[in-house]
Each structure stands twice: as C-alpha cells, then as structure tokens.
Amino acid sequence: MDVMPKWAEVTLVPLISLVLAALLSALVILAIGEDPVEAVNLMVTGALGSTYGWGYTLYYATNFLFTGLAVSVAFHAGLFNIGGEGQAMLGGLGVALACLFIPWPHWTLALLGASVAAAVFGAAWAAIPAFLQAKRGSHIVITTIMFNFIGAAVLNYVLVNLMRPPGSMDPATARFPEITHLPTLHDILLPLGINFSKSAPANVTFIIALLACVLVWFLLWRTWLGYEIRSYGKSEPGAKYAGISPVAITMIAMLISGALAGLMAINNVMGEAERLVLNAVEGAGFIGIAVALMGRSHPFGVLLAAILFGFLYQGGAELALWTSIPRELIVVIQALVILFTGALDNMVRMPLERLFLMLRRGNA
C-alpha cells in the first residue's frame, strides 16, 4: 500500500533531502570560520545576479542535464550507469574528430554532425559494459567504473600521441575551425533585444539539452519502448513474461544513456573550449548521479536539479574567488545530496510516512 500521496513522494522527499544537505553544508561553512548567510548571498549574486552569472549557471546546467538524463534513463531500466564520466570523455573525442577532420560548410551542420559523433562515441563506450551485463551478467556498476578509467587512459593516449598538434606540449587537440564555433546565448538573444553577457559560455546547446529533456520524457512515458524500459526496470521476470527481451532493453537503455552522456561534449568541448583537453568533463558525469537522484529520474525533476547544480557550481566558483572557501565545497554539497536523496532515502522517508499514516488515521 502507498502510505504517502504521490505529490509528497515527488516533492517533499527531495526537498527535505536538499534542506538536510544545505543545513550540513552551512555547518561545514561555519566550521571553517565563514558566514553561511554571507556565502549564500555571494553565491546568489554570483550565479544569478547578472546575465554573466546566469550564463555560467546555464552552461553548467546544460552539462548536468545531459549526464542527469543519462543516469535517469539507465535508472528506469534498473541499471546504475556510473560511467557517464567516461562516456562524456569519449563523446568529446567524437566531437573533436568531427570538428577537426570534416570541412563543415556551416555551424548548424557542424553541430548536427558533432552531435551524432558525440552520441555515437558515448553510446559506444556504454555498449561494452551493457553487453557484458546483458550477456555475461557482469555487474554494470563495476564495469562502468572500470570504463571511466580505461576511457581516461585512452583519451590520454590519443591526445598525447595522436591528436596533439606538432610542437605543442599541451595534451590537447588543435583549436576547432572558426566555422564550427557555436552561437552563445548572447548571439541568440541579441536579435530578441536581450543583451545577454558576451563572455559567458552558455550556448545553443542549452536549447538542445531542453529538447533532450522533452524527448526523454516522451520516450519514457509515451512510447512502447519507454514502457518496456520501465517495465524491465521494475521487474525482470515480469518483462520476460510480457515478451520484453532483457538483453535488448539493457542494450538499448544503456546505449541511450551513453549517447546522452556523450552529447554533453557538444556543450563543453564544442561550445566552450573549442578544442578537446584532457580533463574536459570535470566530474560532470558523476554530478549526473546527484542530479538524477534529486530529480527522481523524471526529466522535469532532472531539469530543476541540473539548474540547481549549475547554480551551485557557478556560485561555488564565485565563493572561491571572493572568500577562502575552496570550490571543493560544491563537491561536499554534491556528496550530501547523493547521500540524502540516494543512500539515506529511507531515513528521510520513514518519518514522513509515519506522519502521513498519523494524518490518515486522524481523518478516518
């Protein structure tokens, strides 16, 4: 029996988790001798007080949207894809290859081509763990972790030995040609009469990420494939009974997940850096886990959570700039969110359930 109404399930549980994480973070800030209220002020002004701040917030949010959706799709199939980091890395390789070696006539085509490359490379990096899970029963959490490290090694090798321009000491590719540069939010909003910050990295990819959000929602709740993914995630014996192939669904869900994680690269590699560097992903693959947990694996929740984390990242950077609080504070908050919304879910849920049970008895 459902003890809690659905609205409480989707709003109260994540909200309380967030409040707990925020309270603990405030304590951490206090402990290192800073003022939490002042810190929040700084973060809000830094991340949301200007179009420059928004430009960074939305740029980070775009990354987290892709990786959050990636983790969510896999969650719906009952799979924990912890390999978003590696898949996004490889997605970057796809973007770099597409941008450097194909003479695009226009940025729109370059974006299309690079997106396909990013998705294919990301999906390919998810394919082997998916296949091993589906066919050999190897635990996908472990294999995707291993593939993060293998991916980093592969990228390192490719950048140092194959794609580094001659004479450069930097393990990075050459700059992408001018034609592949993506319009920023400044470029997009200017015709509408909005003067958005020119130096912020948010770009057209944000719109693609929003589109991905809608598409994932549509996939999961409007198509038979989404229905099969969700069924398999809830009950494997049930799926078999209904004629849903566990092997096919595991593969498809992980390929979609990997493709989404890979797609992140059009934002950070093509949209921002305009070349591929070694540490392009910067942990966004892991933040996807926090975002998916916080957003309850629903695309709309993921959108909210991604923007929240975008805010935290930009706010954290500002904080590091103006106070002695290092950027790692964000890593702590991220950890606390994962802890409360993921691992300690029951701790938050049990008192709530008791409360609703009492309320229900009171009414009866």
Partner 1 sequence: MGEQAPAIELKGISKAFGPVQANKDISIRVMPGTIHGIIGENGAGKSTLMSILYGFYKADKGEIFISGQKTEIPDSQAAIAAGIGMVFQHFKLVENFTVLENIILGAEDGGLLTPSLAKARKTLLELEHEYGLNVDPDAVIEELGVGMQQRVEILKALYRQADILILDEPTGVLTPAEADQLFRILDRLRQEGKTIILITHKLREIMEATDTVSVMRRGEMTATVKTSETSPAELAELMVGRKVLLRVDKTPAKPGNVVLDVKGLRVVDDKGVERIKGIDLQVRAGEIVGIAGVAGNGQSELLEVLGGYADATGEIRVNGQPLELSGKLADGRTRRARGIAHVPEDRQREGLIMDFSAWENTAFGYHRDPGYQSGVLLNNAAIRTDTEEKMNRFDVRPPNPALAAKNFSGGNQQKIVLAREIERNPDLLLVGQPTRGVDIGAIEFIHQQIVALRDKGKAVLLVSVELEEILALADRVAVMFDGHIMGERLSAETDEKELGLLMAGVTA
Partner 2 sequence: MDFLTFVQLLDSTVRLATPLLLACLAGLFSERAGIFDIGLEGKMLAAAFFSAAIAAVTGSVWLGLLAGITASMAFSLLHGVASITFRGNQLISGVAINFLAAGLTVLIAQDWFSQGGRTPSLMGGGRFEPITLPFADALDGVPVLGPIYRELISGHSILVYVAFAMVPLTWWILFRTRFGLRLRAVGENPAAVDTAGVSVVGLRYAAVIICGVLCGIAGAYLSTALQAGFVKDMSAGRGFIALAALIFAKWRPWYALYATLLFGLFGALETRPDVIEGLFGLKVQGALLGALPYVMTVIILAGFVGKAIPPRAGGKPYVKER
**Structural element, H or E, at residue 29:** helix 13-31
227 binds partner 1 (CB under 8 A): yes
Q: CA 154 to CA 148: how far, in whole Å?
A: 10
147 binds partner 2 (CB under 8 A): yes
Of 23, 30, 37, 242, the residue at the interface with partner 1 (CB under 8 A) is 242
16-24, 27-35, 61-69, 243-251 -> range binding partner 1 (CB under 8 A) = 243-251
178-197 positions binding partner 1, by CB under 8 A: none
Closest distance to partner 1 from the beta carbon of 256 (Å): 13
**Residue 102, SS3 per DSSP:** coil
224 binds partner 1 (CB under 8 A): yes
**Residue 194, SS3 per DSSP:** coil
Contacts 24+ apart (CB under 8 A), 8-13: 8/352, 8/356, 10/296, 10/298, 10/301, 12/352, 13/296, 13/341, 13/345, 13/348, 13/349, 13/352
8-16, 30-38, 226-234, 279-287 -> range binding partner 1 (CB under 8 A) = 226-234
Closest distance to partner 1 from the beta carbon of 296 (Å): 13
244 binds partner 1 (CB under 8 A): yes
User: Which residues lie closer than 8 Å to 212 by C-beta, 6 or more apart?
Assistant: 65, 66, 69, 260, 263
323 binds partner 2 (CB under 8 A): no
Q: Mask of contacts with partner 2, 258-287, x by CB under 8 A?
A: ----------------------------x-
Q: Which amino acid is at 230?
A: R
Q: What is the DSSP string of 114-182?
A: HHHHHHHHHHHHHHHHHHIIIII---HHHHHHHHHHHHHHHHHHIIIIIISPTT--SSBPPPPPGGGPP
136 binds partner 2 (CB under 8 A): yes
Site residues, partner 2 (CB under 8 A): 28, 31-33, 80, 82, 128-129, 132, 136-139, 141-143, 145-147, 149-150, 152-154, 156-157, 160-161, 286, 289, 293, 324-326, 328-336, 338-339, 342-347, 350
